[in-house]
Amino acid sequence: MSTRIGIVTGGGDCPGLNAVIRAVAKAAAKRGWESIGFLGGYEGILEPQRYIQLEYQQLGSLLTRGGTILGTANRGRFSAKVGHGETRRLPQELIDGVKAGMRTLNVQALVCIGGDGSLSIAQQLFEGGVPLVGVPKTIDNDLEGTVMTFGFDSAVACATDALDRLHTTAESHNRVMVLEVMGRYAGWIAIYAGVAGGADVILIPEIPFTYDSICAKIRQRTHVEKHFTLVIVAEGAREQGGEFVTAVDQVANREARLGGVAHRVAAEIEKRTGQEARACVLGHLQRGGSPTNFDRALCTVFGAEAVELIAAEEYGKMVSYHVAGVGAVNITEAVGRLKTVSADGSLVRTARALGICLGD
């Protein structure tokens, strides 16, 4: 009987998911294995089962295509996160359902592609006896155990491009432009794009800000005839002693939806400095479109490595990017606590060395 593996994409989508699916299916086919892709996240494994056969000939256009051909879900029975990032335990019947679903389709192992939530689910399934490996996905780059998750570079490229565009209009109108980017409780997108896009103020969750500090920076720029200011703010950034800004009221048993901090920051800046300020929320543009070259390469290496791990029966591992190359770590090393920007790490120090205000 030939080996058959199943691929699952869970959580929010991001550029590069299809590139990983392609790489896994191609590397598996090279070994003479069959691959199927479950539709709609882990739900597709349960009855009524929903999946597609991933034939080698159909994989050609996937490298550059955004989104996921398998669909994904970040809510429902398999959502692992509630509130501000607390992990939920999976009921035993779901774990049993996944095992039964794999048996029905004769799937020997799963490749679970996801972020903190979906890989927390994967870890629980693994502990329940499901043979699987993980691939780290998220634009937020907040998984421990890997230098970079795929999707992050593409999101940073999008945010940097947005800053470049805001730069010219800010300068023309002598305005303060405040760009809000995603990232949940980590400031990776904001700090990378902020440094790459020449922001004057970078606000991240890891360093709570004060308006005094931000406004002092704006006044200092005015003093040297710079009559515009670029601010990039992570959706999870908050004022010292303040709360997270959430887009809508908290729904029970769902993860909090962050959003809206840019409007708050812009209004406060305008009130305090008298300078016109505008907010721009980049939103899901960061998750759409084609992956960058870096992400395409990373996804391809990750996908091929995931198949190697299955061949070696190294279950419970997540492929990970180290500076020296790609290796594997236990999924437990990646989930449960978020990897956040170090407040005295090299990027923050670089930002400070360039005179960028971090709001503290």
By C-beta, is 15 or 316 nearer to ligand F6P?
15
> How many helices (DSSP H) and strands (DSSP E) are in the chain?
9, 13
For residue 41, the minimal CB distance to ligand F6P (Å) is 13
CB 246 within 8 A of CB 84: no
In the residue annotation, 96 being an active-site residue is answered as no
By C-beta, is 217 or 287 nearer to ligand F6P?
287
For residue 84, the minimal CB distance to ligand F6P (Å) is 11
- Selecting among 140, 142, 153, 200, the annotated active-site residue is 140
What is residue 209's DSSP assignment? B
R_g over Cα of the chain? 22
Q: What are the residue ranges of helices labelled H in the chain?
A: 17-30, 92-104, 116-127, 152-173, 188-196, 211-223, 261-273, 293-311, 346-353
Residues making contact with ligand F6P (CB under 6 A): 12, 74, 115, 138-140, 182-184, 235, 257-258, 287
Joined together, the tokens standing for residue 169 give: 């209009």
- Check the CA dihedral 52-13-127-314 and report its sign: positive
How many whole angstroms from its chain centre is CA 123?
18
Question: Angle at Cα 185 formed by Cα 181 and Cα 187, nearest 5°?
Answer: 50
For residue 102, the minimal CB distance to ligand F6P (Å) is 27
For residue 315, the minimal CB distance to ligand F6P (Å) is 25
For residue 183, the minimal CB distance to ligand F6P (Å) is 5
Backbone angles phi, psi at 93, to 5 degrees: -65, -30
Buried b (16+ CB within 10 A) or exposed e, 340-355: bbeeeeebbeebeeee
For residue 288, the minimal CB distance to ligand F6P (Å) is 11
CB 171 within 8 A of CB 34: no
d(CA 286, CA 295): 14
By C-beta, is 141 or 273 nearer to ligand F6P?
141
**Max CA separation in the chain (angstroms):** 75
By C-beta, is 107 or 261 nearer to ligand F6P?
261
By C-beta, is 183 or 359 nearer to ligand F6P?
183
By C-beta, is 84 or 99 nearer to ligand F6P?
84
- Strand bridging mode 132-136 / 317-322: parallel
Catalytic residues: 140
